[in-house]
Amino acid sequence: MRLQRSDEQHDLRDAVRGLFADCAAEPEVRRLMDTAEGWDSVVWSQISAMGLVSLAIPETFGGDGGGWDDVGVVLEEAGRCLLCAPYFSTVMLGVNTLLASNDTAAQRDYLPAIANGDLTATLAVVEDAGRWGEDAVELRATRTPTGYRLDGHKSFVIDGATAGLILVAGRTAHGISVFAVERGASGLSCVGLDTVDLTRKQARLEFAGTPARLVGEETAGWALVEHVVDRAAIGLAAEQVGGAQQALDMAVSYAKVRHQFGRPIGSFQAIKHACADMLVDVESARSVAYYGLLAATEPASDLSLIAALAKAHCSDAYARVASQSILVHGAIGYTWEHAAQLHFKRAKTGQLMFGTPTGHREAVAARLCATVHHLEPK
């Protein structure tokens, strides 16, 4: 397994960073935060034209046939600038679900439009309780002569108010399945949620007899959701590495120019120690996230265990770095005008996505205990 990025991936990083420097600078991020949609269609066209959306889509469906480690390069840069675009939802949730479903017909119908930027997508699993788990899915799916209809709701759906394709986890009489609902379908209503992190829009969706299409096999939906969430958690970890690096860079730059008692505050031992601790968090998170991205590319890996480790470690690392960055900046770091608080809010909401760090650590501990018990001599 290769833990170092290739020359091509370094070139990709430089190209993506250059694009985001133009279209995702802080003034643009703040402008989009104040819009209902949260992203700009012109910027999305630029991202798509550069081939970033089609990276992980097979060439058969109009994509570039790259790996999830290539997508991770984009996600890390997106995290650095707090990119306001439906990239994470479309690629890590939408594309990921379609590919993992092994539903050739659905892939043929949706992936080409996603690859060329004409269609955005997302995955809706969680409901008002905010719990991740098979037993928490209550939305009902009923078979009809022409397909299925959905009745219920979903909450905290990333880019749910603007996605052209919504992949929904619903409960049939036989178990959990995943369904495709296109934007504008009858009985579908979307309400944007007021969340702490305005750089990533979320929505509550209501389904009232909404026509839907089965994606993949019926009753295989929860296994599909778990697989997608594992990869999405690793993608989120890569994004958090980028955000943590930017928070560290801002703190170090400020410590060099902010003077107190006639000297830069970066010369004070307390600030040095804080920055050193942040660097340790960033680099350890980077190692875990990169390992996770490479594991997602290799089907033989224990993805669920690696995803749990990546989600727990990187979520907490980003939150610690973002918090320390604010402290290094002092009072200005708490103000609305400074970017430090934007990273802190992104970090705190990211801790809750796809399950809390504590929940993932408990899952890892349970796996380890079960393994030890299995290995004990009888």
Q: Is residue 283 part of a domain?
A: yes
- Domain match, 367 and 254 both: yes
pLDDT of residue 360: 86
In total, the chain counts a number of residues equal to 378
pLDDT of residue 129: 86
With bands split at pLDDT 50, 70 and 90, how would you rate the model's confidence at 1? very low
* Residue 302 predicted with pLDDT over 50: yes
Span 62-70, average pLDDT: 89
Residue 156, domain extent: 123-218
In a 13 Å sphere around the CA of 335, the CA atoms on its Cβ side amount to 6
**Which domain CATH number covers 346?**
1.20.140.10
Q: What is the pTM of this model?
A: 0.93
Is-contact 40 83, C-beta < 8 A?
A: no
Token pair, residue 137, equals: 């899915």
Span 101-116, average pLDDT: 96
pLDDT of residue 79: 97
- Give the H/E segment covering residue 363: helix 357-375
Spatial separation of the C-alpha atoms in residues 201 and 361, rounded to whole Å? 27
pLDDT of residue 132: 86
Neighbour count for residue 208 (Cβ, 10 Å): 13
How many domains in the chain? Answer: 3
Place of tokens 């809390």: 356
Spatial separation of the C-alpha atoms in residues 225 and 354, rounded to whole Å? 11
Spatial separation of the C-alpha atoms in residues 202 and 156, rounded to whole Å? 5
* Residue 376 predicted with pLDDT over 70: no
With bands split at pLDDT 50, 70 and 90, how would you rate the model's confidence at 9? confident
* Residue 214, strand partner residues: 179
* Residue 214 predicted with pLDDT over 70: yes
**Which domain CATH number covers 64?**
1.10.540.10
- Domain match, 231 and 315 both: yes
* Residue 166 predicted with pLDDT over 70: yes
Q: Is residue 96 part of a domain?
A: no
* Residue 152, strand partner residues: 207
* Residue 375 predicted with pLDDT over 70: no
